C-alpha cells in the first residue's frame, strides 16, 4: 500500500485540456451565481420550476460548499464533480465520486478519451459510428498535487484494473488532496486527476472534435473547426 504521507508534491500552474461528449448535460446555473451565499436560494427556486435541474447539475451535495466554484466557465468544472461514474467501473482513481481528469497536452487528453470512448462503444456492441466531442480548456492552479509519476510499474498503473488506484484515490480524497499528477497509460505524456473544483478556473469551450470509431478502435480524430486533427 502506498503511504500518501510520503508522496512528493507537484506544483501545477498551467492550462489543461479535457475532452467530453459534446451533448454532456450542461447547465449555466453556476455562471449566474455570485457565490455560495446565493446558491441555496437559487437552487431551491430553480428546482421548483425545472424538473430536469438534477440531471443537468448532478448532485451538488457531493462537493463541499468551500470547494464549489461559480462564475464564468464554472459549469464545465463542476459537472465533473457532481456527476460521478455510473458504469460500475469508475475512473482510474475514482469510483463513487467525481474527478476532473485532464492533461496539459491536448494530444494526451485526446488519447485518453479516445481509449475510453472506444471501450464504451465496443462494450455496447456498436460496430461503426462517429461521435462529436468537446474540448474544454481550463486553468489548473496555482496548486500542489500529490505526485505519483515516479511509481510507474506499481499496481496503480495497471492498464485495465483500477482497484489499487481507486483505493489510493479514496485515501487522497479523504485527506483533502487537491489531486494527483500521474503518467498517462494511453499515451506518452502526463495527466492530472483534480479532486477539488477550486483548483481550476477559467474553463472555456476550446473546440469540437469528431471521433471516428470502427470495430473497437477510434480510427480517426477530426477537428470540426478546421484547426487540424489526426
Q: How far apart, in whole angstroms, are the C-alpha atoms of residue 193 and residue 140?
A: 11
Say if residues 62 and 98 touch (Cβ distance below 8 Å): yes
Q: How far apart, in whole angstroms, are the C-alpha atoms of residue 133 and residue 225?
A: 12
Find cell 494526451 and name the residue. Answer: 108
Secondary structure of residue 163 in the 3-state scheme: helix
Can you list the residues of the chain whose pLDDT is less than 50? 25, 228-230
- The answer to whether the Cα torsion of 120, 124, 130, 134 is positive or negative is negative
Q: How far apart, in whole angstroms, are the C-alpha atoms of residue 101 and residue 90?
A: 12
Say if residues 196 and 178 touch (Cβ distance below 8 Å): yes
- The answer to whether the Cα torsion of 154, 159, 163, 168 is positive or negative is positive
Q: Quick one: which of 199, 71, 74 has its CA closest to 140?
A: 199
Quick count: other Cβ atoms within 10 Å of Cβ 66?
8
Alpha carbon distances (Å) from 182 to 23, 124, 151, 156, 211: 28, 29, 9, 10, 25
Report the first-to-last Cα separation within the chain, whole angstroms.
39
The alpha-carbon radius of gyration of the chain (Å, integer) is 18
Q: How far apart, in whole angstroms, are the C-alpha atoms of residue 10 and residue 151?
A: 14
Q: How far apart, in whole angstroms, are the C-alpha atoms of residue 175 and residue 169?
A: 10
- Residue boundaries of the structural domains of the chain: 4-26+90-223
pLDDT attached to residue 201: 96
- The answer to whether the Cα torsion of 228, 21, 81, 180 is positive or negative is negative
Give the predicted TM-score (pTM) of the model: 0.89
Say if residues 2 and 154 touch (Cβ distance below 8 Å): yes
Query: What are the grid coordinates assigned to 11, written together?
Result: 506544483
Find cell 474553463 and name the residue. Answer: 203
pLDDT attached to residue 194: 98
Amino acid at each position: 500500500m502506498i503511504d500518501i504521507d510520503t508522496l512528493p508534491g507537484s506544483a501545477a500552474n498551467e492550462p489543461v485540456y479535457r475532452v467530453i461528449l459534446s451533448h454532456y448535460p450542461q447547465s449555466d446555473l453556476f455562471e449566474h451565481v455570485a457565490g455560495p451565499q446565493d446558491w441555496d436560494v437559487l437552487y431551491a427556486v430553480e428546482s421548483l420550476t425545472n424538473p430536469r435541474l438534477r440531471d443537468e447539475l448532478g448532485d451538488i451535495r457531493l462537493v463541499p460548499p468551500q470547494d464549489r466554484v461559480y462564475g464564468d466557465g464554472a459549469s464545465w468544472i463542476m459537472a465533473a464533480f457532481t456527476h460521478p461514474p455510473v458504469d460500475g467501473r469508475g475512473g482510474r482513481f475514482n469510483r463513487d465520486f467525481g474527478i476532473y481528469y485532464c492533461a496539459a497536452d491536448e494530444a494526451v487528453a485526446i488519447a485518453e478519451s479516445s481509449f475510453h470512448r472506444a471501450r464504451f462503444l465496443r462494450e455496447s456492441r456498436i460496430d461503426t459510428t462517429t461521435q462529436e466531442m468537446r474540448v474544454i480548456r481550463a486553468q489548473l492552479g496555482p496548486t500542489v498535487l500529490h505526485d505519483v509519476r515516479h511509481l510507474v510499474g506499481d499496481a496503480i498503473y495497471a492498464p485495465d484494473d483500477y482497484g489499487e488506484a481507486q483505493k489510493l484515490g479514496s485515501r487522497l480524497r479523504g485527506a483533502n488532496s487537491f489531486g494527483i499528477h500521474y503518467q498517462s497509460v494511453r499515451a506518452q505524456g502526463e495527466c492530472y486527476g483534480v479532486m477539488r473544483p477550486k483548483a481550476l478556473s477559467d474553463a472555456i469551450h476550446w473546440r469540437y472534435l469528431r471521433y471516428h470509431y470502427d470495430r473497437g478502435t477510434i480510427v480517426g480524430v477530426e477537428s470540426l473547426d478546421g484547426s487540424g486533427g489526426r
